[in-house]
Amino acid sequence: MKKALAFLTALTMLTAAFSAAPVSAAGSYDMTVTVDLSGSGKAISPYIFGINEYGHQDDLKKLSVHAVRQGGNRMTAYNWETNASNAGSDWKHSSDNNLSKSDEPADCVQQLSAEGTKYGFDYKLTTLQLAGYVAADKDGPVSEAEAAPSARWNAVKLTKGSAFAAEPDLTDSTVYMDEYVNYIISKLGNSQSKTGIQGYSLDNEPALWHGTHSRIHPERVGLQELTDKSAEIAAAVKKLDPDAEIFGPALYGYTAYDHLADDDSSNEWETIQSTGGYHWYLDYYLDSMKKASEKAGVRLLDVLDVHYYSESSRNGAEDRLQSVRTLYEKGFVENSWIGQWCQKNVPILPTIQASIDKYYPETKLAITEYNFGGEDDPSGAIAQAEALGCYADANVYFASLWGGSGYILSGLNLYTNYDGKGGSFGDTLIPAATEDVSKSSVYAAKNGDASKLTVMLTNKSMSDAEHAVIELKGAAKSYQKAALYGITAESSEIRLLDIVDVNGSKVDVTLPAYCAAMVVVSDDPDAFANAQQEEKTQKTAVFDDPMSMVNQNGYVEIPISDPEHLKQIIITGDVKSSAGSSWGTAGCAVCINAVTADGTAFWTSKGYSLKLGSGSKATVEFDGTLQNSDKEDVAAVVADGKIELQKWWDSSEKLEAEIADEITVDYTRVEVVYEYSGSTLRGDVNADGKFDAADARALAKFLTASGTLADWQAGDLDANGKLNAADLTWMKREL
């Protein structure tokens, strides 16, 4: 007891010394923001708030999205009759049951329809197969010797030319695309039904087929080949479902916009370009589809479909913060080969729109894959938020994020569920601007009667707060209150940061450094009376030498001390290739023995991947549910106080060339994050439901090795995974 009292006395003196020390304020800068309410604005397509289904099935329950695309490399060789698919160069050209373990035809699309009903998104886009062959089996890797045509593949015919079967013939070694669409309609209804499919994409990234799917299309896709196939299947779809929308050609990126897949060896593009006077390949595709539509007597292309992965974002956070400007800002030069060599087409979205206006007017625009990176960094939320505003301003019809987690997904939810109660960006975009878009970007919208304004505002400074004065010009209403919801460097979660009074036509807010925010302005003085969000506290246990924690099974074993409050596991590792590949991926999983509240035990896993290189990072999220053997999300937690990190598959440059290569992972750091609601647990180390002096005494005893704690996580007040004198200092301050 004397030791404990002496310890407390010493810490009291230490606390006083800390209290007397001056605290330096963070830097800040001023920003004037203008929002113009004098005009009518323009409608925002709700379908720009979408994601790709692949890799996001677990995220659907925590995201508010209006559209989902079922696409990607896996869909190019998808056999709708059996649900077999092929990974292509993404992983050993493996034909397997990755997309569905069911034998029921078109199960993938039926699952997409069921997800739409369950999670309430309005637009479902799936993919039709045009490359020529689909997987005939689920027997694993396909060698070069087994390239199509072979028994490992079924031929694709776009139109059957005879009566459709009620159930597909599995013995004819052929799949028919129009029969597939007919089957979808018979099972789910047409595009106008709630369960039906609203849009069909004409395959995926055809300019890369010769690389990603070399077993079925080893030669570069031809310009005429793609147009002919697109027109044939589009006409067949329109005959079956006239209101369904056709998306094409799902180009992978800028190079494909310019010349598809032509490498100058055939001179096909050079000849067509000079003959037709086209600026780039998009002109030719639009013109060709318009001519095919005129010949068919029906529009065969409703939505021009492109993908966009920022080149400058690959350089890191600083470039990522400016990367979206390439899409919309004339004169901006990004730090990449696009900035160096392709300025004639920057800004990119207006250039694409000019092609549409010239060659096939009234065609809509979709960006069905995009990602600016930064899932573990605030720059990811800032870029994502700016991109969505840019899409709204550029009249993009449909956009679906590919991949991403953490900060990126929060950047999406900032528009669709900023308050956790369905609060969303307005449906009509109104003009808005900041003084300096390199420091701060802004997009604003109003709801139907302009009683509420939503202003998406970013602070791109990594160090300085942004003092913003939002001037509401031409406002016909008297606005009273504003709430500031933000994503900050402290957390990827959207939090309520402030509620302020509106001073006449001005809203005065301060954004923390490195922040994406939604400023919600209302004419109701009581609009945010009940807006206070539940306080949450996070504690992190850090393991800096995971390779010393290999268990008898040969896997890194990580202790989970508080399963019910497990929030995420952040995994960092050095990934190496034994064969010296230039790129590679280790496909891994957090493996879990789980248990439900009623005691039902089951085994499950959560996948993650690590890229070749030093310091590769992945984040695995937990929300109190785990997936059981029936692929159902059930309320469950880690059962035995530990998880294992297992590596399941390898992918690399050398493996694609069928050269032996082992991708190894040396884990360098694992962070286990626990989250607690409210403040009742914070400091309550004796678990008596109160935080008082008794907790300080209990912690002091523990630190002098003369006592035990009922809840040590509650005492880890500086969230470093350890209990030490600093925690007791913090506890005394709070008391």
pLDDT tens for 349-376 read 999 999 999 999 999 999 999 999 999 8
What are the start-end ranges of the E strands in 159-232?
174-176, 199-202
Give the residue from 397, 449, 458, 401 showing the smallest Cα distance to 428.
449
| Architecture per CATH, 537-678 | Sandwich (2.60)
Nearest to 80 by CA among 48, 35, 126: 126
pLDDT value of position 603: 96
User: What residue spans of 360-406 are helical by DSSP H?
Assistant: 378-393
Active-site option among 81, 115, 205, 375: 205
Query: Each residue of 182-192: b (16+ CB within 10 Å) or e?
Result: bbbbeebebbe
In the chain, count H helices and then E strands: 18, 35
Q: What is the pLDDT of residue 4?
A: 38
pLDDT tens-digit profile of 647-659? 998 988 898 778 9
At 142, list the tokens.
């396909």
pTM over 0.75: yes
Q: How many CB atoms lie within 10 A of CB 43?
A: 11
205 classed as catalytic = yes
Question: In the numeric block, which tokens belong to residue 446?
Answer: 């109003």
The residue length of the chain stands at 735
Q: What are phi and psi of 496, to 5 degrees?
A: -75, 115
Give the per-residue pLDDT at 673.
Answer: 93
- pLDDT value at residue 26: 55
Positions in the chain whose pLDDT score sits under 50: 1-25, 679-680
Residues 266-294 as b/e (b if ≥16 CB within 10 A, e otherwise) read eebbeebbeeeebbbbbbbbbbbbbebbe
**Are 46-416 and 449-495+502-533 in the same CATH fold?**
no
Q: Which of 618, 622, 717 is nearest to 58 (CA)?
A: 622
Tokens of 201: 């994409």
Token pair 């109104």: residue: 430
What amino acid occupies position 732? K
What gap in Å lies between CA 477 and CA 449, rounded to an integer?
10
Tell me the HSE value of 720 on the side-chain side, using a 13 A CA sphere: 8
- DSSP three-state, residue 733: helix
Tokens 């990827």 correspond to 492
Q: Which of 632, 484, 653, 526 is nearest to 580 (CA)?
A: 653
| pLDDT for the residue 250 | 98
Q: How open is the CA angle 503-504-507, to the nearest 5 degrees? A: 50
CATH code of 46-416, in short, is: 3.20.20.80
Superfamily of 449-495+502-533 according to CATH: Golgi alpha-mannosidase II (2.60.40.1180)
pLDDT tens digits, 257-267: 999 998 877 78
Residues 6 or more apart in contact with residue 548 via CB below 8 angstroms: none
The domain segmentation of the chain, as residue ranges, is 46-416, 449-495+502-533, 537-678
